[in-house]
Amino acid sequence: MRDNSLTPGIVAGRLDQAAYAENFDDLHPRMDEHEATVAADRCYFCHDAPCITACPTDIDIPLFIRQIATGTPEAAAETILEQNILGGMCARVCPTETLCEQACVREAAEGKPVLIGQLQRYATDTLMEAGVHPFTRTEPTGKRIAVVGAGPAGLACAHRLAMKGHDVTIFDARPKPGGLNEYGIAAYKTVDNFAEREVDWLLQIGGITVETGKRLGRDMTLEQLKADHDAVFLGIGLGGVNALGLEAEDKDGIGNAVDFIADLRQASDLATLPVGRDVVVIGGGMTAVDAAVQAKLLGALNVSLVYRRGRDRMNASEYEQDLAASNGVRIITNAQPVAIHGNGAVREVEFEYTDDDLSPTGQTFRLPADQVFKAIGQTLEGDGLPELDGRKIKVTGAGRTSLDMVWAGGDCAAGGDDLTVTAVAEGRDAAEDIHASLMG
C-alpha cells in the first residue's frame, strides 16, 4: 500500500487518545460468570440440535452450554476445542447470527437465540487464562509434514497433526503467524493481541516449528517441500487483490482494504494512522465493512460503502451491515465505479447505478473522496500449484489436491466459505486424512 500520509487530506491523529481507546474497545466484552450462567440456562439442550448441524466445525453446542450451566467452563472449552482449536477467535469473529444462532430453536420461537458465540468465548477464555492446554501429543511417528500458511487452516491442521505425533513445520510469508486472524480482522473484534496469544497457546502442544518470512515460490518450491517432507498442506490464503479495472486507479489516496486493516492491526499507536476526511470503500463483504467502520472510528468525517448489487446480495451479514450503519457508514447499493477523478490524488469517484442483473442504467453520481479502499475480492497467487478449479486450488474429499501427498484448505481451496470457522474445519479434516494416509 502506498504511503498516503503525504497525500493532502489524509492525516493522522484526527482524534484524541481517549476517543481512540473508546472507539476500538472490545465490541462484545466477555460475559462474567453470572451472565454466562443466565445465558446458558436459556438453552433447551436439544437432542437433535440444529445448531450443531449449522456449525462448520460440528461443535457439540448443547453439551458445552450444559457444562457452563453446571459451573464447569473449562470442560466446556475442551468440548469446543476438540472440534475447533481456534474456538476463541471464532467466538469473536464467526458470523454466529447466520450460522448456529440462526438455527437455534429459541430464535425460531422467540426471535432471540441463545448467545452461543458469547458463551463460547466465555468458556475458551476461561481455559486459556488458566494457562491450560488440554491436549497432549501421542508417541512420535517420525513423519514430517510441511504446512504452508500460518492462518486458521494451517494452524488447525498443524495442531491436529502434532497431536497425532507428527513433526510439523509451518512456513508463513509474514513476520508473525496467524494469517487473517492477525492481519485481516477489525481491531475492535479481537483486542489485547488475542490472535497472537491464541497462537502461542496453540503451540503449547509441541512438535510444531514456525518459520516466518518464508514465501512459497520465493524461498522454497512445492517440489522442494514434497522432497523434504512426508506430506504438504497448503493454507496459503489469497494473497492478491482484485483491481477495479479503471484508468487512474494508481492515483494517490487509493489503496487496498486488506492493507489498511493490516496496518491498523499492527499499529502500536492508532494516532499515527492517517485517514481521509471523505473515505469511500468499494465492496460488500466483511473486509469492506471492517475497513469502512474502522475508517470512521479513526476519525473520518464521511465514509461511504458502495456495492454493485443489492443489500441482500452483500457477503457481509445483516448484523455487520447494521454495525456499519450504526457507526455512521453510509451504505450505497446497486452502484459500480466507472471513473476516478483528480489530479495526482483522487478527489472524486464516479459511480453508475446498476440493475439487479448488474446492467448499467446510465444514471451516474459522484462521491467526494480523498481516500479510497478497494475490497472487491482477493485472488490466489503462486506458481507450480496443484490443479485449479476456477481461481482456487481444486480439492476432493478432505482437501486432497491433484498432486500426490499434497492437501489444501482454507481460502485458497475451492468449494468452501471464506470464513475463519470453515478454514479451521478444512485444516482439521485435512490433518485427519493426512494422518490416515501416512499411517496406512
* Residue 218: predicted pLDDT: 94
Cα angle value 249/188/178 (rounded, 5°): 75
Average pLDDT, the chain: 96
Query: CB-based contacts of 298: which residues, under 8 Å, 6+ apart?
Result: 14, 15, 20, 23, 264, 270, 273, 275
Q: Are residues 234 and 247 in the same domain?
A: no
Around 374, how many Cα atoms within 13 Å sit in the side-chain half-sphere?
20
Name the domain boundary from 103, 129, 155. 129
81 and 166 share a domain?
no
User: Is the domain of 67 the same as that of 187?
Assistant: no
Q: Are residues 68 and 190 in the same domain?
A: no
Q: Among 361, 376, 391, where does a domain finish?
A: 376
Our CA angle for 281, 332, 250, nearest 5°, is 30
pLDDT of amino acid 440 = 84
Query: Number of structural domains, the chain?
Result: 3
Question: Is there a domain that residue 136 lies in?
Answer: no
Closest C-alpha among 99, 38, 113 to residue 68: 38
Tell me, yes or no, whether 137 lies in a domain.
Answer: no
291 domain-assigned: yes
Residue among 396, 404, 402, 407 at smallest CA distance from 431: 407
User: Where do we find the cell 503525504?
Assistant: 6
Task: Decide if 156 is inside a domain.
Answer: yes
Given a cut of 80, whether residue 293 has pLDDT beyond it is yes
Q: Identify whether residues 355 and 425 lie together within a single domain.
A: no
Please report which confidence band the pLDDT of residue 1 belongs to, taking 50, 70 and 90 as the band edges: very low
Q: Cβ distance 268 to 293 under 8 Å?
A: no
Helices (H), 239-312: 257-266, 286-297
Check whether 171 has a pLDDT greater than 90. yes
Domain final position from 329, 345, 376: 376
**Secondary structure of residue 18 in the 3-state scheme:** helix
β-partners of residue 302 are 278
CA distance 81 to 83: 5
Reported confidence tier of residue 405, pLDDT bands at 50, 70, 90: very high
What is this structure's pTM? 0.95
* Mean pLDDT within 229-249: 95
The answer on 229 and 165 residing in a single domain is: yes
Do 68 and 152 fall within a single domain?
no
Domain assignment present for 138 = no
Judge whether residue 6 has pLDDT over 60: no
Within a 10 A sphere around the Cβ of 381, how many other Cβ atoms?
16
Shared domain check, 349 and 419: no
Q: What is the pLDDT of residues 89-138, one digit of tens each?
A: 999 999 999 999 999 999 999 999 999 999 999 999 999 999 999 999 99
For residue 101, give the CATH number of its domain: 1.10.1060.10
Is 235 contained in some domain? yes
- We report the CATH number of the domain holding residue 357 as 3.50.50.60
Which residues span the domain enclosing 369? 4-25+241-376
> Is the residue at 163 inside a domain?
yes
Position 134 in a domain: no
Residues 261 and 366 in one domain: yes
DSSP 34-96: HHHHHHHTT----TT-HHHHH-TT---HHHHHHHHHTT-HHHHHHHHHHH-TTHHHHHHHS-G
How would you classify the pairing of strands 231-234 and 144-148? parallel
Residues 245 and 363 in one domain: yes
| Strand bridging mode 360-368 / 335-341 | unpaired
Same domain, 183 and 332: no
Q: Are residues 166 and 112 in the same domain?
A: no
Confidence at residue 259, expressed as pLDDT on a 0 to 100 scale: 97
Nearest Cα neighbor of 190 from 31, 24, 59, 33 is 24
Lay out the sheet containing 348-354: strands in order across.
335-341, 348-354, 360-368
pLDDT given at position 7: 74
